[in-house]
Amino acid sequence: MPKSIREIAFVVSLGTLLSKFGGMARQLVIAGAFGITAAYDAYNYAYIIPGFFLVLLGGINGPLHNSMVTLVAGKNKVESRLFISSINNLLSIILLIISIFILFSSDLLINLVGPNLTAETKEIASYQLKIMSPIIFLSGLIGLSFGSLNAKKEFLIPSIAPLISSLIIIISVSNFWINKENSADIYELNLRGGIILAKATFIGALSQYLIQIPFLIKKGIFTISLSIQTKYSELKRAWRMIAPASLSSGMMQINVLTDLFFASKIVGAAAALSYANYLVQAPLGIISNAILIPLLPVFVRLRARENHLNLIKKIHQGLIISSFSMVFLGSIFISLSTPIVILIYGRGSFNQNAIDVVSQLLIAYGIGMPFYLSRDLLVRVFYGVEDSKTPFKISIIAILLNLFFDWFLIGGTSPWGELSPINLGINGLVYSTTFVNFFACILLLLKLNNKLDNLKLSKIVSQNLRIFFIGLISCISSFFIFKLIYLPYSFFNLLIKILISSGISLIIFYFLAIILKVDDIDSLNKFFKEKFIRL
């Protein structure tokens, strides 16, 4: 019997939740072992390129994953096996060449992405990039496997695969943390810790692919072949989706690269951005996967013109769920930024300076959260109707805008001094990304309005304005409720205060949504309790 979207969402959410808990534990260990030091600062620059490919091609909800779901879903085992093998061979050749190039060009690339880094940080980052360069080759294998398994109704393994990677990093970094000598030479300590972190990251990526092989064999879609046996028209169709989708979905990763380029002149900025970004990405990833993975096949099925009204209905419901969840989470991150950072990271090498910096960044990220998920949802609608060119064009514009606003919001540095009157420091980099995602959402909605009849843009805008207003009230409520609760300081008391203030704020948020008559509010209940829609 086909699984309902509710059942798929539960499986995906469970797997993703486990992986996110593992990822959170990983970040806790990294924060305690390294704090904002050269080892982790360097790692963030070294991981830019391998991480770009791993997230872009190897990630759940990445373009390779989404394209494979669309392209493989209707094929039988033999056709799927031949198609996957052919795409895998072509992609592997390209990625292997890139991996080899990265391996031998690590010094040059680190200078390009982090021109203002200290000599120590650049050297550590170069070592780390050499170690992690094979991840680029692995990313294609991982992404193809994820998408192929999802297309054949296997959702749990792809969702929990990142957990294995996190566990490997946790074990390796914990061992380093326990055995490191505080009296040792700082450079040697940073170098050793950085190399251990890079090796653990590579082994973790390898494990994400290896764990999927038994399940690919079970589904009958695993094969080792060096030939390309599928039709040219099929390959052409695949590349027409994968190539532009890769750039449009990789907008966030490309923006991260430009952010770190401009952040390289600020010591510890890369590490701080990473810690704050993870606090946002953890819940964002869980909710994103629960919404987008089940909805993509629905968009594919409803793309025929006679189903446009149903497609529009699902788009409206998806946007309401996205906005409702992201605005509320953003309000909590804004109002309780410092307590959250202290609770999660405040131990070991993570000192008060690190807490202050990351707390400010968390506020900036919280403001932009609603636009992250809405943009991703709208991009998936275009994928569902096999239009990857529109998101691609919009992404090109957005990347150029992000480049400009990164420069503008941190002072507009030039050989003639600072040309911009605004210098928000590393916070400006996050605000730049927020504006770019907001701009992308507007363009995607306008294009979608031209593509689909009766999209009712005014209704979408009206509903979201109400949700943003409710979010403002919720933000103020959680801030004052937290201040009013007095408990002696301890880890558990801090956790209780955050949970109580967040819980009351959620109740206020929900009932205000009912009072202000936010449409499709019942979709939230249906999404978690009943069938959202049958496949």
**Strands in 266-333 per DSSP E:** none
pLDDT-based confidence at 164, cuts 50/70/90? Answer: confident
pLDDT at 294 over 80: no
pLDDT-based confidence at 167, cuts 50/70/90? Answer: very high
User: Quick one: which of 489, 501, 374, 498 has its CA closest to 439?
Assistant: 374
Instruction: Determine, yes or no, domain membership for 208.
Output: yes
- Residue for token digits 């109400």? 466
Taking CA 421 as the corner, what is the angle to CA 418 and CA 426, rounded to the nearest 5 degrees?
A: 75
Query: Which of 21-30, 66-75, 368-377, 380-389 bottoms out in mean pLDDT, i.e. has the lowest?
Result: 66-75
Average pLDDT of the residues in 380-401: 80
- Residue for token digits 């055995």? 179
Instruction: Determine, yes or no, domain membership for 425.
Output: no
Instruction: Name, in order, each residue with C-beta under 8 angstroms of 393's C-beta and a sequence gap of 6 or more.
Output: none
Which residues sit opposite 417 in a β-bridge?
414
Q: What is the pTM of this model?
A: 0.73
Distance in angstroms (rounded) separating the CA atoms of residues 488 and 474 = 25
Taking phi over 0 as left and psi of -120 to 50 as alpha, with beta for the rest, 417 belongs to left
In this prediction, residue 514 carries a pLDDT of 84
Distance in angstroms (rounded) separating the CA atoms of residues 60 and 379 = 15
For residue 263, how many C-alpha atoms fall within 13 Å in the half-sphere facing its CB? 25
Q: Are the CB atoms for 167 and 200 separated by under 8 Å?
A: no
Higher pLDDT, 63 or 356: 356
- Residue for token digits 């391998």? 50
Identify the sign of the CA torsion 56, 121, 340, 202: positive
Taking CA 255 as the corner, what is the angle to CA 250 and CA 259, rounded to the nearest 5 degrees?
A: 150
SS3 410: strand
Query: Which of 59-73, 152-166, 282-296, 456-470 bottoms out in mean pLDDT, i.e. has the lowest?
Result: 59-73
SS3 309: helix
Number of domains in the chain: 1
Q: Are the CB atoms for 491 and 452 separated by under 8 Å?
A: no
Instruction: Determine, yes or no, domain membership for 24.
Output: no
Instruction: Name, in order, each residue with C-beta under 8 angstroms of 90's C-beta and a sequence gap of 6 or more.
Output: 228, 235
C-beta atoms surrounding 79 within 10 Å: 15
Instruction: Determine, yes or no, domain membership for 201.
Output: yes
| Per-residue model confidence as pLDDT tens digits over 18-65 | 777 888 888 888 888 888 888 888 998 999 889 888 877 766 656 665
By residue range, what is the domain housing residue 131?
36-230
Q: Are the CB atoms for 221 and 71 separated by under 8 Å?
A: no
pLDDT at 534 over 70: no
The segment with the largest mean pLDDT, out of 286-295, 416-425, 444-453, 478-487, is 478-487
Mean pLDDT score across all residues of the chain: 79
In this prediction, residue 1 carries a pLDDT of 38
User: Quick one: which of 124, 120, 105 has its CA closest to 49?
Assistant: 105
The segment with the largest mean pLDDT, out of 63-72, 190-199, 409-418, is 190-199
Tokens coding 276: 């704050």
In this prediction, residue 372 carries a pLDDT of 85
Taking CA 103 as the corner, what is the angle to CA 102 and CA 107, rounded to the nearest 5 degrees?
A: 80
In this prediction, residue 531 carries a pLDDT of 39
Query: Which of 169-183, 202-216, 225-239, 403-417 bottoms out in mean pLDDT, i.e. has the lowest?
Result: 225-239
In this prediction, residue 419 carries a pLDDT of 66
SS3 269: helix
Instruction: Determine, yes or no, domain membership for 275.
Output: no
Average pLDDT of the residues in 400-421: 75
Which residues sit opposite 414 in a β-bridge?
417
In this prediction, residue 416 carries a pLDDT of 47
| Per-residue model confidence as pLDDT tens digits over 180-214 | 766 567 888 888 899 999 999 999 989 888 888 88
Q: Are the CB atoms for 274 and 58 separated by under 8 Å?
A: no
| Percent of the chain topping pLDDT 70 | 74
- DSSP assignment of 251-279: HHHHHHHHHHHHHTTSTTHHHHHHHHHHH
